[in-house]
Structure 1
């Protein structure tokens, strides 16, 4: 981040050299600090061109050139609607602390949202149906388009502003931990939750001492999808539900006529009908307080929690995935995913 920070006493020439060294951000911009590290303005190549056109002095201090009327976000934000900033054609927004000191930037061209969520990825399964591919490699680490399946999911979570990820591991989990480390190489924090015994699809949540977000995203590691996490989150919040489940359509084709009957009488029939059902896609957002209902360090599936919520007449909602979704559980699924990714622009 020091590459995009500059002191107000530096000259335009020094700023130009620094701008030319910037990489990996969507817009060439510097954030101008005073001697107390307080951000007082922004500086772009456009600001410099306007100054040179008027004053023609490349040794001018940037304190007199920078834009002091800039947009920022305060540290500690929760949900931010990025559409507002995109509509104003803003690309880079600084996050500042209470003293107006630099914390981080939000690169709006590189992120889809900023969700106030922590996430747990379930990655402890054996993946027997994919044997022998999974005999020496955990299923989440099978390559898809040159990178592990689980990395596709982590990258997508990052694009939605999620920075704290727990990964539940058991079978060959050392390979996952060695590959991702603490997450710092991706600018996030990753913590590993080791299952001493199989805990089902939700039991590992009970092993986290304390989640810091009000809601937690839980997902399977063997999914390849472009699910809209923001839409799932907003649907949950707007419905004031305790849990939201991402769903995918499952079509059932009946090859025969289906009768509508009353006693022995056929009242009506449909010839070879098709039925579409909303099915569990293995992605959930739930209130953190609901996790207290999961027994500690015991086998517990997320469907057990869903059933409990429904039976107690509490709110469980679903949100359809409108893009692609592949559950890589069998060799045919893996083959399909590998062919499918060749036609995507990632």
Structure 2
């Protein structure tokens, strides 16, 4: 919200007074209010130009010039809705009012475009050997292989940054110095990056036990570092919190069509015949949100895989849920996937 005093004027002000306020402001809009701060209208450069062309006098009351039916938004209008309104109407600023019409702020396009700061830690697994991508990974960790003109790990971090995340942990094992030398402490990207090193592979979940205990007491987003995705992490986090899950697995719907007729039998008698059936199922994307309690349940240097960890907590009545994503996602596990990523980066990522 901008400082309203700099862009607000009383309804008794003249056209000349309003022009002075408009001149010293940076939003190219003046808000006209009555004694009770109720919004009566708005004035822009265009309103003033049109009034002068219609022979308005500089001493005329601004209520004769102002737009009496401006676009406004209520305080409970979501950021996404505000952004959509401003983009669709080509507006740089819109007044915010309460349900009684009292002015309480003004939303700007610049503010709406800026993501809210999110303190939830992000934990990226980047310690694998990448043996299926040899010889490319002989001297380079798989997450540091370039897709377009950036390492895939950098694409991943940039995507998180676009949603307001700023605190990163990266697990390393194979060629850790390549990752550390490139990213450092993250200050080049305006974020914090800390590293946890696995002296020996601890499975897909064991590195959780190496995280510092003084991290924020918030759900942590954990994922593999060899993924290219346009996942909306803000929606994923909101889904996790809204459902009160202790852990959330991000999944995708996939299907497989059998190219033959399938015969089902019992005691050698046919019970059903299906011609080229399609089977649908959900696959694990390797992206999780974990509560602090689940993270802290992993002991230091404990070897454990994520499915085992989550199954243990599910057996203890923890709420383990799913979030189905329809965003672009590619697991770069094999050479054909890496080659596909080089083409996809031009389509799905502007930063390429």
Q: Verify same fold: TM over 0.5.
A: yes
2:142 to 99, 117, 139: 139
Measured against aligned partners, the alpha-carbon deviations of 1:6-29 in whole angstroms (never above 9, x if no partner) come to xx9xxxxxxxxxxxxxxxxxxxxx
Structure-2 separation of matches of 1:126 and 1:232: 29
Larger displacement relative to structure 2 (257-266 or 302-311): 257-266
Match of 1:279 in 2: 283
Measured against aligned partners, the alpha-carbon deviations of 1:128-182 in whole angstroms (never above 9, x if no partner) come to 1111000111111111011000011100000111110001111111111111111
Larger displacement relative to structure 2 (305-314 or 264-273): 305-314
Match of 2:321 in 1: 317
DSSP-derived class of the 1:212 partner: coil
Displacement after TM superposition at 1:264 (Å): 2.7
1:241 to 239, 242, 245: 245
Structure-1 separation of matches of 2:135 and 2:236: 35
Note the 1:110-189 alignment, pairs <5 A: 110-111=114-115, 114-189=117-192
Structure-1 separation of matches of 2:338 and 2:232: 22
Structure-2 separation of matches of 1:167 and 1:202: 13
Gaps of 5+ in 2: 1-5, 7-23, 31-43, 53-57, 59-76, 94-109
Note the 1:60-99 alignment, pairs <5 A: 82-83=79-80, 85-86=82-83, 89=86
Displacement after TM superposition at 1:287 (Å): 0.7
Confirm or deny: 8 A CA contact 1:140 1:148 kept in the other structure.
yes
1:256 to 257, 260, 272: 260
Note the 1:104-115 alignment, pairs <5 A: 107-111=111-115, 114-115=117-118
1:292 to 293, 296, 309: 296
Structure-2 separation of matches of 1:265 and 1:172: 58
Aligned residues: 276
Evaluate the alpha carbon distance shift between residue 84 and residue 250 of structure 1 in structure 2; reply closer, same or farther with a 3 A threshold.
closer
Evaluate the alpha carbon distance shift between residue 42 and residue 175 of structure 1 in structure 2; reply closer, same or farther with a 3 A threshold.
farther
DSSP-derived class of the 1:197 partner: coil
Measured against aligned partners, the alpha-carbon deviations of 1:37-80 in whole angstroms (never above 9, x if no partner) come to xxxx9743557979x999x9xxxxxxxxxxxxxxxxxxxxxxx9
Displacement after TM superposition at 1:258 (Å): 2.1
Structure-1 separation of matches of 2:228 and 2:205: 20
Confirm or deny: 8 A CA contact 1:91 1:109 kept in the other structure.
no
Displacement after TM superposition at 1:116 (Å): 4.1
Larger Rg: 2
Structure-2 separation of matches of 1:199 and 1:124: 10
Evaluate the alpha carbon distance shift between residue 228 and residue 136 of structure 1 in structure 2; reply closer, same or farther with a 3 A threshold.
same
Match of 1:344 in 2: 348
Q: Does 1:217 align with 2:237?
A: no
Match of 2:27 in 1: 44
Evaluate the alpha carbon distance shift between residue 248 and residue 265 of structure 1 in structure 2; reply closer, same or farther with a 3 A threshold.
same
TM-score (norm 2): 0.69
Displacement after TM superposition at 1:295 (Å): 2.5
State the Cα RMSD in Å: 3.3
1:191 to 189, 194, 203: 194
Measured against aligned partners, the alpha-carbon deviations of 1:210-235 in whole angstroms (never above 9, x if no partner) come to 32042000010000011121221122
